Amino acid sequence: MGSCKGYNCYPPLFIQEHFYDPVSHSGFIEMRLRNLRRKLHDDQRRYQRKRSRFSDSSGVSITLEVPAEEEEESSREWTTVIKRMKPSPENLNTIKLGMEKTYSNRRLWVANKSPTVKEIFEQYPRFVDMPYLLDTEFGKMFPGKADLFLRKLEGNIVPKLQKMSTVKNPLVMPTDNEIEDSCYRALQILITLLPPTASGRSKGWAKCSTKSALAYLLDIKPAGTSISSLLDNSQTMSESHQPHIVCLGAPSSTAQYIIVAENDKVTIPLEDNSLTCAIDKLFKMYWVCNVEYPVQLTSVFNFFENVYDIPFSGGKRSKVVELISKLQALS
């Protein structure tokens, strides 16, 4: 048999597979071109990236880059990877990279399609088993703001709220359980100073105490309560209950905190045994999932916005502004 040269050496099927592979619906040449396009700078691309401003349910605008066509395809591939890849030490870097690669597509999808919390976590389940990804997402949405709540609340705001509730002017009478966690007591004081709005009081209960308002943010269950039982809607005080925190045991440094969204059948056990960290994660989840605040605690969440140094959603409320001024005046 004589020797062959060039393409005469390869059967037609081999040459065809360089252009099209029926299994992957692509081919060697197409994959090569796709990888080359990914490495191009913006000024080398035929189609430039576009910037898009969108407003979520709060009315706060965030600027995003609309991905180019090849980046959208890459994002879909990464979404599949991180959905199937379970958290493990060897997979963490890949998952974090995948979440970064899919960020713009995810934010545009959430803003334009308004998916439910359940739909978001089904598409990106790593938010559930890796809750610290909420910190990363929020930090990309609001650069430099992600750690402000943890830095400012316990070190600055909690002591000032406690100072406003003195023995001579007790806003909240302490009990043995309440004394265990300073953040819990400060949260009670905050809700007392920023009571539910009129629209909140029209939601089925005539009189609103601090305890009943607090339940829309923090619900305390006995230690040992099963997580699955937390999704029982009959155990909640409102049919339209927004995502909130459940504390298993008395609020303290050893309690277990879980974010629960009954309507979406979602529970997120938190690794940090701290009420401050739990509130931080819940607030970030509201923004990451574009969820409205509980109407009964709109003013409280507006106060949190000030702590994070992000724009007020829905405009400034006089009681919130007044409280912020009083706290700033305290030394």
Domain ranges within the chain, ordered by starting residue: 6-39, 55-141, 151-329
Length of the chain measured in residues: 331
Task: Give the model's pLDDT for residue 68.
Answer: 55
Q: What is the pLDDT of residues 185-213, one digit of tens each?
A: 899 999 999 987 654 444 444 455 677 88
- Structural contact between residues 68 and 47, judged by C-beta atoms closer than 8 angstroms: yes
CA distances (Å), origin 267, targets 129, 131, 170, 232: 10, 11, 36, 12
Task: Give the model's pLDDT for residue 269.
Answer: 95
The pTM of this model reads 0.75
Rounded to whole angstroms, how far apart are CA atoms 103 and 101?
Answer: 6
Task: Give the model's pLDDT for residue 275.
Answer: 94
- Displacement of CA 209 from its chain's centroid (Å): 29
User: Which residues in the chain show pLDDT less than 70?
Assistant: 1-71, 167-180, 197-209, 233-240, 253
Task: Give the model's pLDDT for residue 61.
Answer: 53
Rounded to whole angstroms, how far apart are CA atoms 251 and 275?
Answer: 7
Q: What is the pLDDT of residues 242-299, one digit of tens each?
A: 999 999 988 876 789 999 999 899 999 998 889 999 999 999 999 999 999 998 899 9
Rounded to whole angstroms, how far apart are CA atoms 274 and 253?
Answer: 6
- Displacement of CA 191 from its chain's centroid (Å): 23
Task: Give the model's pLDDT for residue 53.
Answer: 42
Task: Give the model's pLDDT for residue 74.
Answer: 80
Task: Give the model's pLDDT for residue 67.
Answer: 54
Task: Give the model's pLDDT for residue 175.
Answer: 54
